[in-house]
Amino acid sequence: PRRAAQGRGRALWEQNAKLYICGSRAIGEGVKTEVVKMVINGKKERGDEDASEESVKEWWEGLRNVRYATDVFD
């Protein structure tokens, strides 16, 4: 089930889906953590040498307000 969900998520992302995160700060951090894990795993599966956590986190932050937006609170 989890792998299938990741595949659907990847397919949507590749079709330029946008992500809106609304909830507690912990929800926002949890989404970031899972996205970073999925991207790193995908890069490793494809043999991409730039699969470091730091580079993926930078990529994710670069997408803020472009491909994803947050409305988080404490």
Return the structure tokens found at 42. 């995908």
- Report the alpha-carbon distance of residue 35 to residue 30 in Å, rounded: 9
In a domain, 36, yes or no: yes
Q: How many folded domains does the chain comprise?
A: 1
What is the model's pLDDT at position 71? 95
Is 61's pLDDT higher than 90? yes
| Contact assessment for residue 2 and residue 50, using Cβ atoms and an 8 Å cutoff | no
Q: What is the mean pLDDT of the chain?
A: 90
Domain boundaries, position 62: 31-74
Is 54's pLDDT higher than 90? yes
Which residue has better confidence, 30 or 8? 30
Please compute the mean of the pLDDT values over residues 1-25 and round it to a whole number: 87
- Report the alpha-carbon distance of residue 59 to residue 67 in Å, rounded: 11
Give the tens place of pLDDT for each residue, 14-40: 899 999 999 999 999 999 999 999 899
